[in-house]
Every structure is written in structure tokens, then in C-alpha cells.
Amino acid sequence: MPFNIQKIRNDFPILSRKVNGYPLVYLDNAATSQKPQQVIDCIVDYYSNYNANIHRGVHTLSQEATDAYEVARHKIQTHFNAKEAYEIIFTAGTTHGINLVANGFSEILEKGDEIIVSAMEHHSNIVPWQMLCEKTGAILKVIPMNEEGSLVIEEYEKLLSNKVKLVFVNHISNALGTINPIAEIIEKAHKVGAAALIDGAQSCSHIKPDLQKLDVDFYVTSAHKMCGPTGVGILYMKEKWGNRLPPYQGGGEMIAEVTFEKTTYAGLPHKFEAGTPNICGGIAFGAAIDYLNAIGFEAIEKHENELLKYATEQLLEIEGLKIYGTGPDKTSVVSFNIEGIHPYDIGTIVDKLGIAVRTGHHCAQPIMDFYKIPGTVRASFAFYNTLEEVDALVNAVKKAKMMLS
């Protein structure tokens, strides 16, 4: 299918609305993506035609819902190239998946064990590990980053020893757009016997990962960053970890047998899926993956790289504008500030012109501390954005600068 931007934009009803009298220019895709009609239709179809609880019912609706939910799990398995469908665990999202793993490791880690995270993690990748360290006496170590916003791999190598049990990094930083060399990071973790967990929340809309090839132990992501609904995501875990980690929550669905003396747990993935899940969300996640694959990740990447290149060039024409995250390997996120102007003020003025950007620390305060800034303005582009929208952003930022300086 040729990449037809107008046809793609027509799939997203929200893109034709106006904000403050101007056509919406949605550049907050790193926070959440918009949803195509195909995904919206899937949600309406579920609630209109076959809403029922899954796995337990013998009636037709329950079987239809169960089938659709499990078909979605298979789609996700195929997309991420997991070996088995039961290695895909439905979660409420990335944060939930990380907490599930952290909780499991609270029974595995011992005092003095080490966990490595990177300097450019989202708060949801820092706080659960800090809580885990408090509980177990394990020690958190951090891979530093350099001025251009890339991880310093030589420093990572120095941190590695047989005390390290878990290495955790995001594939792409949501605040900077840096693409981290995860294959290398995973391989080095395995050399010292540590497990590797990758946060794909920011990368999954840009890059299709091959989990078996990466040989990663755990991988988490959220559907809402890749055109699916909020409140649903996946945790991939290798079968051996699935068998080793204890369940996170007790309840229905996760048991094999319950008596008051003893409960035995269900096998994968149900062991980690207590309670009625977000059934519709899981099914719609499958629809979102179908949608993205129909466009094709190669075409998506090519278009987004054009947007990134053009936006970077145009923004840098503005005097006093500095971009954070200038590494060689990056995706379509541009985080910037203008000398002497607070990012919040820029965000507020461009919103008056219909442009949605994010301002603040982007849930990554350590990065802001590194650069000694309160935050940035972040424009993050998706495949449905256009070069004309980049122009609108640049003009609006120029206008904001004029008004504020």
C-alpha cells in the first residue's frame, strides 16, 4: 500500500476538528496517539454485538468474546514475534507491567543484589525499582547519559558484574527521542547472568521489535501509544520467567483450584491475569496493530524521519532555540527551549493557535536535572502528521517568542 497521507488522516476523525478556531495540530503523540476509525469501530462493535465476560461462559456471546480476545493475543504475539501466545500477558499498560515484574523480583532478589536502570527513564521505570530496592535491600545503579542525550555504554560495562540481577532500559526516551542500543544492552546483561527488561512504550509506534531475536526477558508496552485504547497493554515474559515469578494479584481467572486450605494457580498467561480484564481494550489493541501493519512500519519510519529532519532544521532557525536530545539515533520527538522563556508559556500560546505540544518534565525529572532546566517544550510527531503541520508549529513558536521576549 503506498503511503497516502491524506487517506491516512481521513481515518482519524479527531484530526479534522478545530481547537480555539484553528485546525488541530496534534503533536503530543509521545503522551498518547490518536485513534483511527477502524479502532473506534472495533470498540463500538464489541459493545454493540458481543459484550460478555470471557473464559468462563459456555454461552455464545462469551465464546465470541473469548475468541476475539485470544485472537488479539495471537496478533500481538505475531507482531512482536514472541515464541508463544501465553508469553503475552495483558496488563493495564506499561506501568502496570513494570510493577508486576518488580513485584515478582521482590521474592527473587537478595540484599546486595543490583539493578541497573538508565539515566533517561520514565518515572514509571524508576519508582517501582526504588520501591523494590527498599523492600529487598538491593541496590539501584544508573547508566549515565552524555550531553547529546545518549547513554554512555562504557559506563554501563563498568557497572556490570555478577551481582547485577536485572537491567532495565527504555527502547526510546519519551523526553528526548533517543533510540537506545537495546540489542547490545541486552546481550551485555546476559553475559553477567542478569535478566533484561525493555520498556517499549515509546518505541512501539515507530519500530516493530523482534522479541525472540532480541532475546529479551521482559518487554512492556501500552496500546494507547500505538493507536489503541488507554488502560490496556502487554507484558511479554519468557516462559521460564513466567513459571518462576509469583502471581501479582490474587482473584478470579488466575487460579486452577481454590479451597480454603490451598489454592493452586493457573498456567500462563492466566496466572498473571487476575480478575475480569479490559476485554474490549485487548480486542481493540489487536485492531490497532492490524491498522499499523497495513500501513507498514517501514513507511511509518520513513515519513516520521522526514518530519523529524524538517522540524529540527526549521526550529533551529529560531534564534536562542536549543534542542535537547541530539544523538545520532533518534525518533520523531523534538524537545526544546528558547533562551529566557519558560516552556509552559510557549505551550500555552501555541495552544491558542490550535497546536498541542507537551510542556514540563515529561515524567523524566532526572533528565531535566541533568540539563539543569525545569522542563522543555516537546513536539512529538506521528505518521499522520504533515510537513504543513511542522510549518504551523514553527510559525506559532516564532509568534510565542515575539510575544514573550
Ligand X SMILES: *Cc1c(COP(=O)(O)O)cnc(C)c1O
Residues annotated catalytic, as ranges: 363
How many Å is the Cα radius of gyration of the chain?
A: 22
Q: Quick check: 165 and 113 in contact, CB under 8 A?
A: yes
Residue 149 is a binding residue for ligand X (CB under 6 A): no
* Residue 77 makes contact with ligand X by CB under 6 A: no
Instruction: For 302, list phi and psi in degrees, rounded to 5.
Output: -60, -50
Q: At what angle do helices 279-295 and 37-45 cross, to 10 degrees?
A: 150
Q: Which one of 36-44, 103-111, 194-202, 386-394 is the stretch in contact with ligand X (CB under 6 A)?
A: 194-202
Rule CB under 6 A: choose which of 99, 103, 150, 174 binds ligand X. 174
Cβ proximity to ligand X: between 150 and 386 the closer is 150
Calpha distance 369→61 (Å, rounded): 53
Candidates 201, 307, 353, 367; binder of ligand X (CB under 6 A) is 201
Q: Which is nearer to ligand X, 94 or 136 (CB)?
A: 94
Among 33, 77, 103, 170, binds ligand X (CB under 6 A): 170
Instruction: In angstroms, give the least distance from the CB of 362 to ligand X.
Output: 8
Q: How far is the CB of 381 from ligand X (least distance, A)?
A: 14
314 touches ligand X by CB under 6 A? no
Give the contact letters, 322-361, x = binds to ligand X (CB under 6 A), - = no. Answer: ----------------------------------------
Q: Among 93-101, 270-278, 294-302, 392-400, which window interacts with ligand X (CB under 6 A)?
A: 93-101
Single out the residue of 33, 202, 278, 332 in contact with ligand X (rule: CB under 6 A): 202
118 is a site residue for ligand X (CB under 6 A): no
Cell of residue 372, nine digits? 539543569
> Strands 195-199 and 218-222: what pairing?
parallel
Judged by CB under 6 A, how many residues of this single chain contact ligand X?
Answer: 13
* Cβ 279 vs Cβ 69: under 8 Å: yes
User: C-beta of 147: minimal distance to ligand X in Å?
Assistant: 21
Which is nearer to ligand X, 93 or 282 (by Cβ)? Answer: 93
- Residue 66 within binding range of ligand X, rule CB under 6 A: no
Compute CA distances 375 → 74, 324, 364, 381, whole Å. 40, 10, 9, 19
Nearest approach in angstroms of CB 122 to ligand X is 3
One DSSP character per residue, 136-175 reads H--EEEEE-B-TTS-B-HHHHHHH-STTEEEEEEESB-TT
Distance (Å, whole) CA 132 – CA 8: 43
Nearest to 404 by CA among 333, 320, 307: 320
Which residue among 124, 278, 337, 376 contacts ligand X (CB under 6 A)? Answer: 124
For ligand X, the closer CB: 334 or 394: 334
How far apart are CB 231 and ligand X at their closest, in Å? 9
Contacts of 116 (CB under 8 A, 6+ apart): 140, 141, 142, 143, 156, 159, 160, 164, 166, 167, 168, 189, 194
Shortest distance in whole angstroms from residue 357 CB to ligand X: 16
CA-to-CA distance for 401 and 339, rounded, in angstroms? 10
Interface residues with ligand X (CB under 6 A) are 93-95, 122, 124-125, 170, 174, 199, 201-202, 222, 225
